[in-house]
Amino acid sequence: MRNEAKVVAITGASSGIGEETARRLAGDGHRLLLGARRTDRLDALTREINEAGGTAAFRRLDVTDAADVRDFVAAAQESYGRVDVMVNNAGVMPLSPLDALKVDEWDRMIDVNVRGVLHGIAAALPVMRAQGGGHFVNVASVGAYEVSPTAAVYCATKFAVRAISEGLRQESDGSVRVTLVSPGVTESELAEGISDPAAREAMKAYRAVALPASAIAGAIAYAVAQPAGVDVNEIVVRPAASAQ
């Protein structure tokens, strides 16, 4: 069954969860604007969606740049007339023990994982308020609920996304819905950004049992498909065979 068509903006759409979410929501009949830094990947995905009968466009996006995110949301509004759903999905995960002192990587995680979500909210919330409603879907992690060695800063960023999402939900009058989606181990390119050798090796074992990114896309699609009066606040999705 195809849902009521909505305009959906997705960050981090060039791979992993963002890419599969784009495919799923386009298949559900929604109109998409896809954002990421790798425009070659976005171009290929957009062409795939449109050739399959969906509706999608793309724009290069750096979520650490507030002005760039504002322009991204404005482009969605200009193309489709409104912005119904903002999927704040972009994220990085360069894990390392704190005593490795990888301060540049800590800063990058804070910039992308926390400021990126805040920039998405700052750009889309005024649009949603003006049009009378909207929906934020913020992608966190099971790391928003627990901390593990080498992941202290990463988990801190995801705890922050969880707190921001809950604060936004409490401040809403009900017209703007807020969903936090927290994946467990999921197939993605995130682990490729780990520069610390020990953390990279440990991640291989940790990711031995992993969900396909399409499973997380399904959770996002479920939240988006709910009627206006229903706000799915938090979804945690883990592999059935994993204790993590």
Q: Helix 16-27 and helix 213-225: axis angle, to 10°?
A: 50
Based on the residue annotation, tell me whether 80 is a catalytic residue of this protein.
Answer: no
Rounded Cα gap, residues 20 and 22, in angstroms = 5
Would you tell me how many other CB atoms lie within 10 Å of the CB of residue 90? Answer: 27
With b meaning 16 or more CB within 10 Å and e meaning fewer, what string describes 121-160?
Answer: bebbbebbeeeeebbbbbbbbbbbeeeeebbebbbbbbbb
Q: Which of 80, 154, 206, 222 is catalytic?
A: 154
Q: Would you tell me how many other CB atoms lie within 10 Å of the CB of residue 17?
A: 30
Measured in degrees and rounded to the nearest 5, phi and psi for residue 186 equal: -135, 140
Q: Looking at this protein, which amino acid is placed at residue 126? A: P
Q: Torsion angle, CA of 74/80/7/123, rounded to 10 degrees? A: 10
Distance CA 102, CA 156 (A): 15
Active site (catalytic) residues: 154
